[in-house]
Structure 1
């Protein structure tokens, strides 16, 4: 049984998230997903997520390709999470290429291509811009 581990915020779940999770799951027989806590998201992105940690956990746990999900509280604990969840493979999006190579002594590290043209940051910006336009049109 090959155990796969990946991490993310998974706010405003979109097709890019789903495709990455399905490709990660296909690399093994068990997919565990670490979902960044609200506090961690604020510290790394400077803003809170649209959906709460509990809501994002519920969404991720509902996906057929996900076998287990947990709340990630610390970026510095990645190695501990790898050991705790007995990961054989750590999967991250290729926008993180090379940043997790330090864990190659604990498990295989794989960077998967992101889905072009979509990101949560883009979606939030687009929604915000459309809201401004709609308010300005009134």
Structure 2
């Protein structure tokens, strides 16, 4: 089948029951996606994949590529029989229209709190049709930098819910404890770190030495160490202050911006003789190639200690 003929708008499809329906944004296709879709095709028959719509005009899209581009990439996979362009974010409407015998979703949707996803799952079950949660394996680590916040939130909540269930912890009780922390004044003292992640594309081996050659594609920086502890305290409702030592460099200002974003009151003592601790991880798909650390392991001097 020609790739272009695989892709069709939802409203142009005849209303009929299909074998198997999968769903996602597929902004950056990686081996986990291929395993997920291949498993669905091999277990449940002809596979239709519904691709999320672009965000409405005037809003910031979390995706790097337009819907048609994402759908065309999915259509290139031999395990996919048809790709459906969803006209809106209303996935439950697509489930009602297509009536899949089996709906296959990633594990991250299992404990989803998104209204439309829960409506689609409820509709599939109430109709007596089967629903399967199958991630097909772990996602590529590099894709974490490009996934939408809602995707990451869905996946982390699912893992969190499993921990609660395994330890017989009631979510409402835990929530009441967290609420009781609001307004608590907390001081965090410790080493602050900038965690920098660089996603790369492997180009091959160098002709000059036995080393892998990569092309840097994207990077993101996050607060780490004592700084992320302070950010978590603030996110839980505490009035958090952080005392830490930094260098006079770019990482210092990255850290200040991150702390300000999280509402943390920071007192950062600058020691010009040391750098702000920076840990950089270079990632190709699911593999961390190596990590570099820019730090000073000696104790702080008496003057800096007095300032603290």
Shorter chain as denominator, the TM-score bin is 0.7 to 0.9
Aligned length: 127
Q: Which runs of 4+ in 1 moved over 4 A?
A: none
Match among 90, 96, 118 for residue 83 of structure 1: 96
Structure richer in helix, relative to its length: 1
Match among 29, 34, 55 for residue 13 of structure 1: 29
Match among 117, 122, 125 for residue 144 of structure 2: 122
**What is the CA-CA distance between 1:117 and the residue it aligns to?**
4.9
Contact 1:11 1:120 in 2 (8 A): no
Structure ranking higher on relative contact order (CA contacts 8 Å, 6+ apart): 1
Give me the whole-angstrom Cα distance separating, in 2, the residues matched to 1:77 and 1:2: 15
What are the residue-to-residue correspondences of 1:1-138 with 2, within 5 Å?
Answer: 3-39=19-55, 47-78=61-92, 80-99=93-112, 100=118, 101-102=121-122, 103-106=124-127, 107-118=129-140, 121-124=143-146, 126-127=198-199, 128-129=218-219
Give me the whole-angstrom Cα distance separating, in 2, the residues matched to 1:48 and 1:82: 23
Over 3 Å counting, the alpha-carbon distance change for 1:105 and 1:98 in structure 2 is farther
Structure richer in strand, relative to its length: 2
* Unmatched tracts of structure 2, length 5 or more: 1-16, 113-117, 147-196, 200-217, 221-279, 281-308
Over 3 Å counting, the alpha-carbon distance change for 1:120 and 1:6 in structure 2 is farther
Q: SS at the partner of 1:104? A: helix
Larger Rg, first or second structure (1 or 2)? 2
* Unmatched tracts of structure 1, length 5 or more: 134-138
What's the Cα RMSD here?
Answer: 2.8
